[in-house]
Structure 1
């Protein structure tokens, strides 16, 4: 389950120009009326509507809103059920976090369909399901095959109307919610936004983030009675919309919704959210951070609420993105030219009530924080004094239009985008109206919004650092003080032709981090960055960004162990522009010294800060990979090592580019409404690449098989304990046993799926953490995504179990539970029922993995690399041929629950080592009653001998990890 917490940089960047979820309980259609949302368009008449679909809407007598959107894409339906309830509705003091909490509790089931039965139904349908909570909304979404629509509407209606949970279940889930808070606690930007919001608001519930205040989360186990009040108050049909998008017949779908949802009763009048009084003066807050990190500074202003009628909100967010986004002059100056910051971002959320518009930066040196803050304030002062040009605004509007269109390439994304707009007024028309409003904006509108909202009285400045900042940072200057006082070759090309107007291409080179020279670890990644983020010989990177901006086009790179992929995306109308602007970055890189210094710093920060210091989960996973493949070309992260990055020179980058990115090392793929002319122009451009076969392919790395359990404890000042364990396997997609092991790992620990066995035994039953998963292919970045990223094909792989952070006192028990369940699978195998259910799930789920245009092209390129058939066909064919005996035999052949490498991120490493070596019983305490059989099982598991020898446990300070 996802939690949309506004206080993350990732969300701020990911949601640029797409309104966050907000709500107004208004409907134009009378109860029972069916309306077609799209307007009739006469032949030859132009329409300003952005959405190309015809939607059908109906408001039921009980207040439930239905929106049906046939997308024209076959086989799949995406069901979204947004409820107008978020952290904004947590109006009682001491009760923050309940909207997010119910995102969890809604998966606890009902009397008729308890959680286990609900999970079994989802598994049988092959569906992928999740939910998220924002300030203003909780959305439950499921994507599945069209034939399962009635089943999904029936079970969803049951849990919305008949949710049932015991006090024990309530308390168990509270541990998981606390675990999620602990998981987020390693991210400094989360804490900074939490402090900023607390300071900015006096009465309004935006004072707390979606997660809620820590003291309230810790007190949740005592709030069982209040939870019933909250649910009864806010989960009602008049606050809920059922959105069905995909391969759907509107009238049949509406009839099914009426059948299962029509008897749901309206609620009582809900209490009002307290209004925030006007701001009365500038505020400064500082957040001392206990772990090493670069300092942050944010400048926020009270901003208007979302509106598709009033121009102020749209004008302000557009202006701030132009002034502080990736194409802005300030971004070029601070990040590229002066290299004072490695991140500059803006975030103007689209809340139902007035929110905070924020500009922020991560600063490289503490002594530059004041300089960067003042540069932001000077830019703010400038945009209030001088309007943008017509061209700048026109380019921004163009980027918005094409940016949205290019994302609408699959049913789930269409429904997800629609949800962001529907629930302001529970109307399909809101999205089109919002973009029509954008079209109407003038430079004067943007300047007027700036003058009204970007003022000293409404300003909140927040800083975060691990070390002391200059004393003057707390002395906020007036904005007026910054006022301007002056008057040829052919390549094999995989073509996936479709009707989609967005053209995507991938250039896959057989070169990656495994080809880094000794002592220069990180060279492959830095070379790719110098291609996609440092400009071409003709254009600097800021000029390229500005040129691509009105096209809503992109060109970026991805480096892995054995391949580097450059992906481009653009609307078909702008194909020639992308080829002429972006491809020269690969063909004739700029190789400027200032870009090299900037990107080298950024890569080192990504390794030391973003991975090592701020992300225990990904650190443990990455360290496990390098430990298992020690003394092989896989023995360092793709980002490299600190010593290796320091040693890289610009000449090293130039040489690697010349050797790696050659014609002979390249595979090309392209998809969308592709013409022969497009293929020819791409061929012609790529003919400028250097000649040659490229870097020789490495021999398949041989992983180290541990003798028993070999443990590395990385000592770090952290609130929770992260654990990853695994072993090398020779099974890749080209191996005959791949489908069998894929099925086994799916049953044991499907990524981010509550149906997985480990998830059920560790997270659901015991409430020990946020989730537990298993893999047979490397899955970096797993905490940020639901499906594997394509173009990470490898000759050697790793079986891995990922135990998400647990309370330190439960670390040993978590390992014992995981090994007990893993050992059960290895030695006893799957049952016939487990085999059949999991195979049926995978037969459908494989379509979810390749649902988007980018995934389809990426998986196809990977199939070329592995020399295998198209992925979905290969998997379905091989799954259909599997037998239970064959799967269990493959498990025994390739996996062992005894010989494993383990990586643990923990605070008190010496104490944990002593406990592991002592092998004493590890009890677990619950804050609610548990079944006798579980307690008996805990006693047995708690005494399970791990047999870890003292010499098999090493302790490494976090500062030493990936140092050389």
Structure 2
């Protein structure tokens, strides 16, 4: 159920300022009340209709894990809170959430755990009632506890494929001696592995920290404050205040610079991080806000160092900074991914040279003013839906349990001067507070661990007619989407990746007038963005800006589309970045997305959908800058374009956008692609990708001719939702594989492509396709359970195909979807994107399409569609495993698949396991192949 979400990275501290009061950043009137038991209530009417977001931040994070050997329990309880109570056991609780059409989740950070649910306003009392029950009466047995502990270990294993996660884990372990920030939110691995033995302590942890005086109830959206407060009082007032007190260990002052290297087992580019001790959050002091703004200016996309290392010298392909908001002193981090190991010392020194300069030279007034402007408009831009507003509040409320914290923080931000930033640099960017961490697969230069003194470093100086769809609203943030009919299905043979690289050159390589760094600097004070997304059939450019800055924004970004720079150095940089995204970010560092992408390419092999959008290694290697120019000239025409515009749009804005786009050449664009014909498997056809990994990822599916324009689309959408909706814990596969057996982190089903699924709650818009894939995604399981996990998933799918849904299952799922369709299309970006997709598919607006289609369905319609389009017998399967040969032997031998549980399980489940474990898959030897990971997406 969890996702660890970083909070906004700007915070503060230092002398109390005295300045004229700045206007509130949040324009809403909040009602606040503290109950006698200490519970804080904050009610915020947002003005958005129909939707309510309930956020419950608890002042309990990994910071509270003070006993040795007990790390990871704050995050663990984020999981356990979904295990139910005597009054509302998990299945009953999930039924209520489903009937509310809600999507819910939770996340844990260093300082808090936040539980959030977004639902239709009519269900407010019901949701408050069941939430109150689980906070006050959480109930679970030792067997359930042990099962969930294995799921938590599965989550750790999932994250272990990401080198950045390991880099931060090692950095924090090195930096801290006593404070609990020494471990990450997940906890130390040895503690996670020991969790099944900590049942008694889990009760102690919950009793200590889940108390009303540490908790805030945020109710935002279409609410009446007094009624909402009364409902909270009705169900939460009997919760008893706690008495436990503890002092989190104080970290001693640092004495010397520290260095730590992490050896990574699989291929990856080297990483270098340079961190310093940073101050705690404050809504009254200046230090952290000053330090955060300073590092953002110095290492962000508009910085001189970014231009030098990423664009000009192309030593690195990623540069980031982070100064998180934390209750106690934390770490401010600058990180870079280096293209060649021999350049790691050079990159480290370049970062430290920049740091040294910050201590001696103040930033300019204009640069600071631009940073403040970008932050202000950036926050306003994000407040386009109730859930986002409530979520942002939760990330600040937990500090002092006050609505005013965020507004106070931005008043501090407004007060910053160049002198404040320089003072923060001198105070915190010191040799004693320095922690350098590196990660690599191979050897780094011998002197990487010999850290220079900051004082000794001197920074090196660099000598037709276009139809327009308008969605007018009161939002001051303007957003437009330009959707061209040019996707990876149009890639010429041997030039796979060309469509994506061309779009990247348009959005990220500047115009003929300005280089990309100049554009980034110009956009920074406006908090504007212009980005691209490429898929199989379309490339989409999204521009977003506050209405106050419309004209200036258009003058900056439109030349990128109409007169791209097409510089050779940008071409090399972006081509390298795309190749790294294919080889490292997808293939080497992400088994889950790799499995899903490989399944797509296997099913549609031989068609335009038969390679990743990113391309292939050989295809990218063959692409030249002339290829990009030629593709751009043919693809980006007026006839290939669909345009959408949303927000508080004036007629002048619409006219100016159309006038600019009229400069595109006339013409229809690229020729239409044929409808791809997927390969229907004969039995189970398995590819095992051999890769050095802790866990085994599984994806399987078959081609679908059903798209949104097909009559059976609503029926299959309902079926996949019941079977395994993305990130929904109430769905069948999630319950059968993750919940009752604790085998992994999640199990989902799809009838539409969902790239980047492990990073998003809802799919992106503008991924229209002419053919789709039915897919089941079994998130990584322990290798010894891979055969059994496949058998379980196939068993549940076979039951669905053979028996269909019951009337009750159908009605519950349809009721959920009738409401949830509003939740999944609630943001400005989603609404605009889905509207353009409806044009592409030739269907009614998406919510109307789904609600009309769902309302007309019968359970017989759904079951007929399932039988017609789905199969549990003929499927393409992709598995990613370390011991590929051993897994192949198990699959072909069809031997019994045992499964071992840490706790006791009901006899009914054990009997079922015996049956499923003996299920004959009847896989033919010729239907199983092993592919080394190095060969994947090579050609």
Once the two structures are TM-superposed, the CA of residue 692 in structure 1 deviates from its matched residue by 1.1
SS of residue in 2 equivalent to 1:404: helix
How many Å separate the matches in 2 of 1:779 and 1:679?
32
Match of 1:737 in 2: 712
The correspondence of residues 19-58 of structure 1 with structure 2, limited to 5 A, is 48-58=23-33
1:168 aligns with 2:140: no
1:817 aligns with 2:792: yes
Match of 1:238 in 2: 213
Match of 2:633 in 1: 658
Match of 2:815 in 1: 840
How many Å separate the matches in 1 of 2:274 and 2:460?
23
2:127 aligned to which of 152, 158, 161: 152
Query: Retained in 1: the 8 A contact 2:479–2:544?
Result: yes
How many Å separate the matches in 2 of 1:483 and 1:567?
40
How many Å separate the matches in 2 of 1:16 and 1:665?
38
Match of 2:804 in 1: 829
1:340 aligns with 2:315: yes
SS of residue in 2 equivalent to 1:925: coil
Query: Retained in 2: the 8 A contact 1:636–1:962?
Result: yes
How many Å separate the matches in 2 of 1:910 and 1:583?
54
Match of 2:258 in 1: 283
2:162 aligned to which of 187, 209, 213: 187
Query: Retained in 1: the 8 A contact 2:21–2:411?
Result: no
Match of 1:886 in 2: 861
1:722 aligns with 2:697: yes
Match of 1:3 in 2: 3
How many Å separate the matches in 1 of 2:887 and 2:407?
57
How many Å separate the matches in 1 of 2:764 and 2:37?
43
How many Å separate the matches in 2 of 1:442 and 1:847?
44
How many Å separate the matches in 2 of 1:46 and 1:199?
41
1:618 aligns with 2:593: yes
SS of residue in 2 equivalent to 1:423: helix
Q: Deviations over 1:618-671 (max 9, x none)?
A: 000000000000011100000000000000000000000000010110010000
1:301 aligned to which of 276, 291, 302: 276
Once the two structures are TM-superposed, the CA of residue 577 in structure 1 deviates from its matched residue by 1.1
Q: Deviations over 1:45-69 (max 9, x none)?
A: 9952100000000000100000000
Once the two structures are TM-superposed, the CA of residue 483 in structure 1 deviates from its matched residue by 3.8
Match of 1:676 in 2: 651
What residue ranges of structure 2 are gaps of 5+ in the alignment? 14-19
Match of 1:455 in 2: 430
1:938 aligned to which of 890, 901, 913: 913
2:536 aligned to which of 536, 561, 574: 561
Match of 1:523 in 2: 498
2:406 aligned to which of 421, 431, 435: 431
RMSD over equivalenced CA pairs, Å: 1.2
How many Å separate the matches in 1 of 2:905 and 2:888?
30
SS of residue in 1 equivalent to 2:320: strand
Match of 1:952 in 2: 927
How many Å separate the matches in 2 of 1:570 and 1:658?
27
Once the two structures are TM-superposed, the CA of residue 88 in structure 1 deviates from its matched residue by 0.1
Q: Deviations over 1:563-585 (max 9, x none)?
A: 00000000001111111101110
1:923 aligned to which of 898, 903, 915: 898
Query: Retained in 1: the 8 A contact 2:393–2:406?
Result: yes
Once the two structures are TM-superposed, the CA of residue 162 in structure 1 deviates from its matched residue by 0.1
Q: Deviations over 1:345-397 (max 9, x none)?
A: 00111100000000010000000000000000000000110000100000000
SS of residue in 2 equivalent to 1:719: coil
Match of 1:752 in 2: 727
SS of residue in 2 equivalent to 1:736: coil
Q: Deviations over 1:375-425 (max 9, x none)?
A: 000000001100001000000000000000000000000001111111111
1:538 aligned to which of 513, 520, 526: 513
SS of residue in 1 equivalent to 2:41: strand
2:246 aligned to which of 264, 271, 280: 271
Query: Retained in 2: the 8 A contact 1:16–1:347?
Result: no
Query: Retained in 2: the 8 A contact 1:19–1:421?
Result: no
How many Å separate the matches in 1 of 2:458 and 2:432?
17
How many Å separate the matches in 2 of 1:756 and 1:166?
23
1:762 aligns with 2:728: no
1:114 aligns with 2:89: yes
1:361 aligns with 2:341: no
Once the two structures are TM-superposed, the CA of residue 18 in structure 1 deviates from its matched residue by 5.4
Query: Retained in 2: the 8 A contact 1:537–1:590?
Result: yes
Once the two structures are TM-superposed, the CA of residue 16 in structure 1 deviates from its matched residue by 5.5
Once the two structures are TM-superposed, the CA of residue 905 in structure 1 deviates from its matched residue by 0.4
Once the two structures are TM-superposed, the CA of residue 484 in structure 1 deviates from its matched residue by 6.2
1:575 aligns with 2:550: yes
Query: Retained in 2: the 8 A contact 1:3–1:211?
Result: no
Query: Retained in 2: the 8 A contact 1:17–1:400?
Result: no
Match of 1:508 in 2: 483
Query: Retained in 2: the 8 A contact 1:513–1:559?
Result: yes
The correspondence of residues 374-385 of structure 1 with structure 2, limited to 5 A, is 374-385=349-360
Query: Retained in 2: the 8 A contact 1:17–1:318?
Result: no
Query: Retained in 1: the 8 A contact 2:707–2:771?
Result: yes
Q: Deviations over 1:297-344 (max 9, x none)?
A: 000001100111110000000000000011100000000000000000
2:879 aligned to which of 872, 880, 904: 904
Match of 2:17 in 1: none
Match of 1:259 in 2: 234
How many Å separate the matches in 2 of 1:592 and 1:402?
31
How many Å separate the matches in 1 of 2:426 and 2:114?
35
SS of residue in 2 equivalent to 1:424: helix
How many Å separate the matches in 1 of 2:894 and 2:295?
57
SS of residue in 2 equivalent to 1:668: strand
SS of residue in 1 equivalent to 2:399: coil
Match of 1:417 in 2: 392
Q: Deviations over 1:828-878 (max 9, x none)?
A: 000011000000000000001100000000000000000000000110001
Q: Deviations over 1:212-241 (max 9, x none)?
A: 000000000000000000000000000000
224-233 or 477-486: bigger deviation: 477-486
Match of 1:104 in 2: 79
Q: Deviations over 1:530-568 (max 9, x none)?
A: 000000000000000000000100000000000000000
Once the two structures are TM-superposed, the CA of residue 269 in structure 1 deviates from its matched residue by 3.0
1:402 aligned to which of 377, 397, 413: 377
1:803 aligned to which of 774, 778, 781: 778
Query: Retained in 2: the 8 A contact 1:3–1:100?
Result: no
Q: Deviations over 1:62-112 (max 9, x none)?
A: 000000000010000000001000000000000000000000000000001
How many Å separate the matches in 2 of 1:888 and 1:819?
17
Match of 1:36 in 2: none
How many Å separate the matches in 2 of 1:18 and 1:494?
37
Query: Retained in 2: the 8 A contact 1:3–1:134?
Result: no
SS of residue in 1 equivalent to 2:400: coil
2:58 aligned to which of 62, 67, 83: 83
How many Å separate the matches in 2 of 1:485 and 1:612?
36
How many Å separate the matches in 2 of 1:46 and 1:325?
29
**Structure 1 length-normalised TM:** 0.96
Once the two structures are TM-superposed, the CA of residue 17 in structure 1 deviates from its matched residue by 4.0
> How many residue pairs were aligned?
931
Query: Retained in 2: the 8 A contact 1:826–1:896?
Result: yes
**Structure 2 length-normalised TM:** 0.98
Match of 1:26 in 2: none
Match of 1:784 in 2: 759
How many Å separate the matches in 2 of 1:290 and 1:746?
38
Match of 1:40 in 2: none
Once the two structures are TM-superposed, the CA of residue 274 in structure 1 deviates from its matched residue by 0.6
Once the two structures are TM-superposed, the CA of residue 485 in structure 1 deviates from its matched residue by 11
Once the two structures are TM-superposed, the CA of residue 2 in structure 1 deviates from its matched residue by 2.6
Once the two structures are TM-superposed, the CA of residue 3 in structure 1 deviates from its matched residue by 3.2
